[in-house]
């Protein structure tokens, strides 16, 4: 059964009131009320579903699930922990929310859109092979892509699996730049697909997934919470 009562300082941190040290300081300053009563003790237990917590005049509501859009930079691994490299969860450690994980993986050198959440059900639906959720990548290639290679990618190629890849959509963005839309999520899939048609990926960026489009105002390593509209798109199965 999910814990309904939590420490007040933990609840405030999870509602983005600030770091644990900042929250404790502001509790001592009398800036927090629980059910109309000023509370200064950080270890005071609150019922997240029933108690009314007011922080600096703003009522804070409990949220079971949270959703963040991260512009993943190169050199960071898509994992919750790693012994040698920084992880995407390290980049979101100041959110105050625990249990965040990446929905799917981007290679260490691949950049762009990565959804971070604690909603396992949504993650499963987005990653389920049967859902065929669109994933959009922009790739810089070693060589110009031939018409024959485009046709092969759009009909399915052999990347060493039991079956050919599902048909992809290819858009030419420049002499050696393409936008590739796939509906699978196999290991190193984009790189393997281009290698299968005699080419190599020089750089790779994911710009969209399941109807969610990367916010171009986010610099590498930056993140923001999803809007209600963006969450609704994902919860509808990635259909905009």
Would you please indicate which residues are annotated as catalytic (active-site) residues? 107
- Helix (H), strand (E) at residue 234: helix 228-235
- Helix (H), strand (E) at residue 137: strand 135-141
Residues in the chain: 240
What is the DSSP code string of 175-225?
SSEEEEEES---TTHHHHHHHHTT--EEEEEEEEETTEE--TTPPTT-EEE
Distance CA 215, CA 141 (A): 24
- Helix (H), strand (E) at residue 26: helix 20-28
């Amino acid at each position: 059964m999910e814990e309904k009562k939590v420490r007040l300082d933990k609840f405030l941190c999870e509602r983005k009131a600030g770091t644990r040290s900042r929250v404790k300081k502001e509790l001592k300053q009398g800036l927090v009320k629980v059910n109309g009563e000023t509370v200064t003790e950080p270890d005071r237990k609150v019922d997240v579903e029933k108690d009314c917590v007011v922080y600096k005049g703003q009522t804070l509501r409990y949220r079971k699930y949270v959703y963040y859009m991260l512009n993943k930079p190169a050199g960071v691994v898509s994992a919750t922990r790693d012994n040698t490299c920084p992880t995407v969860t390290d980049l979101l450690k100041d959110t105050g929310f625990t249990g965040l994980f990446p929905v799917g993986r981007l290679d260490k050198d691949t950049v762009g859109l990565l959804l971070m959440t604690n909603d396992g059900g949504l993650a499963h639906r987005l990653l389920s092979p049967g859902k065929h959720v669109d994933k959009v990548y922009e790739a810089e290639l070693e060589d110009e892509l031939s018409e024959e290679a485009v046709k092969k990618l759009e009909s399915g190629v052999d990347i060493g699996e039991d079956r050919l890849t599902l048909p992809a959509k290819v858009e030419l963005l420049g002499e050696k730049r393409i936008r590739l839309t796939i509906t699978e999520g196999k290991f190193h899939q984009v790189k393997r697909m281009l290698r299968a048609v005699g080419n190599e990926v020089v750089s790779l960026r994911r710009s969209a997934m399941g109807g969610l489009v990367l916010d171009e105002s986010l610099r590498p390593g930056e993140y923001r919470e999803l809007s209600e509209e963006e969450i609704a798109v994902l919860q509808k199965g990635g259909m905009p």
